Structure 1
């Protein structure tokens, strides 16, 4: 058995994409995963599985979520070790401003990373490591060009969490 952490994209937005924590747990368990737990109601779920392929885990969860909710829920899975590494990498940046992490479904190409970094405005930096994009924003973060939408435009399916959530999950589940 291995423990994984899944990050669900675009749930609990508006009236039609509701997915309460208890329903997430039930859907994950129904899909055959065990020792399921969630953290806050933004689509963070930990579980154990005998599956080894990340793609198979994501596909099984996405199928279960769509069957339960009636809408697609893109799901991005990391191992405990990968999550801890993302949190630790953040410390190396020494950034004191707003720090968000976009978690990617697939590893981006060098050309895609270059295009993302070119999209930044002054005071914004995108640091890409594997399937994590650290968005380091300045005081004008509310006007930032580096957003999860920008990440998705250049790098593909992603979901975003603030660094505090990433650290908390790494400490709690890593």
Structure 2
């Protein structure tokens, strides 16, 4: 049985995509996932399953679409891969709340960095299936646009570390 971290896109952020975490846990349990735990109200789940990453994604996307009446983005990582994302953080000395990993379903396109717009002091590094961004002055005033990140979902390193810890405990 594999421990997974599941990240939902645009859930309970900015007043859109309201989904109570109790409802999300129930959806996961209904799909047959075990030891389901959520973390903060922005669509973070750790759980165990015998299903593949692709099967976990498909099962949740289907249930979420039924619930929301529209597609909801789902990104799935095995707990071991999520731990690698944390370990590979290219900005280990930066404030954890100013570094995000943008999680994608596949490797970022080769032209990702050349397509970035409105970059100020942000530092960007491509990962395996992630884009790491260090917002030197914080995200509040950033106008950074990363086209490849549109289909992804971002979590700061504090959240990534907590999800890695939670996944290790189930």
Is the 2:102–2:149 Cα contact (8 Å) retained in structure 1? no
Q: How does 1:1-174 map to 2 (within 5 A)?
A: 1-13=1-13, 17-52=17-52, 54-90=53-89, 92-97=90-95, 98-116=98-116, 119=117, 121-139=119-137, 141-146=139-144, 150-151=145-146, 153-174=147-168
Q: Cα deviation per residue 1:124-168 (whole Å; 9 max; x = unaligned)? A: 11111111211111125422233xxx33x2245111111111111
Aligned to 1:72, the other structure's residue is in SS state coil
TM-score (norm 1): 0.84
TM-score (norm 2): 0.86
Deviation of 1:122 (Å): 3.3
The ranges of structure 1 where at least 4 consecutive aligned residues each deviate by more than 3 angstroms after the TM superposition are 13-16
In structure 2, what is the Cα distance between the partners aligned to 1:160 and 1:102? 4
Deviation of 1:24 (Å): 0.1
Q: Cα deviation per residue 1:54-73 (whole Å; 9 max; x = unaligned)? A: 22221111001112332321
Unaligned runs of 5+ in 1: none
Unaligned runs of 5+ in 2: none
In structure 1, what is the Cα distance between the partners aligned to 2:69 and 2:120? 41
Is the 1:4–1:80 Cα contact (8 Å) retained in structure 2? yes
